[in-house]
Chains A and B, each alone.
Chain A
């Protein structure tokens, strides 16, 4: 099980749609003009908030954000086959870590069942042949 932050374009940069709550929290950044500037804000975010999860930076063309409709924030769970197991509704209204937790529990249980299935079949074979 791994976790990855995909740092995407800003939700409320100070020069576009500034939020009072961001001013209060001193999270005031203008729209990054290029990928380097985005990386700087992302770095500030990770260090100030103490984010321990590994983070990657979406390109300035926002390719990954567009593919996943990730803006302004969103949660996904990808299973071991590379398929979408859970997709939250768009943030901020649809950002619910509790729903993700439920999805993780389901996926992990399903994974364990799949992993254990050969053993189960083996045991059943032994039982039925005896």
Chain B
């Protein structure tokens, strides 16, 4: 009987393919997780190489992000004091001097 008449065994092929895809996916998720735990510039650089929304569709991005960027500061902790220049550089603002007068809302962010 010629070789091409042999019944193809699809099951092992499918299983192997699934295993390979799973390992690739794990590696992909691993890279994303690793990058989330780097400094923001590095994470952004890694993300800039990801094609479009692929990363959001293929990894539990939001859950991973919440954990990676949780930070060590907890409610009830002493807020680290800082003394930063105002944008026009005419004066400095210290958190401790503001908070001694009352509660302070801090809004972290950038234009982009």
Contacts and interface: CB of A to CB of B under 8 A. Distances in A.
A54 B106 CA distance: 10
A96 B40 CA distance: 21
A93 B66 contact: yes
Contacts of B77: 83-84
B35 to A, nearest CB: 11
Interface in B89-112: 89, 92-93, 95-96, 98-112
Contacts of A17: 44-45, 47-48
Contact of B66 (A4, A6, A45, A89): A89
B40 A56 contact: no
- Among A19, A56, A57, A67, find the residue whose CB has the most chain B CB atoms closer than 10 A: A56
Interface string A53-73: 111111100011101111111
A79 B80 contact: no
Contacts, number: 204
A22 B14 CA distance: 43
Contacts of B109: 5-8, 11, 70, 72-74, 91
Size band of the B side of the interface?
35 or more
Interface residues of A, number: 72
Interface in A78-124: 78-87, 89-91, 93-94, 100, 104, 107-108, 111
Contact of B71 (A58, A68, A107): A68
Contacts of A14: 112
A64 B103 contact: no
Nearest to B110: A10
Nearest to B71: A69
Interface string B39-50: 011001101100
Interface of B: 40-41, 44-45, 47-48, 62, 65-66, 69-82, 84-89, 92-93, 95-96, 98-112
Query: What are the 4 tightest A-B residue pairs by CB atom distance, in nearest-first order?
Result: A69-B71, A70-B108, A45-B111, A90-B69
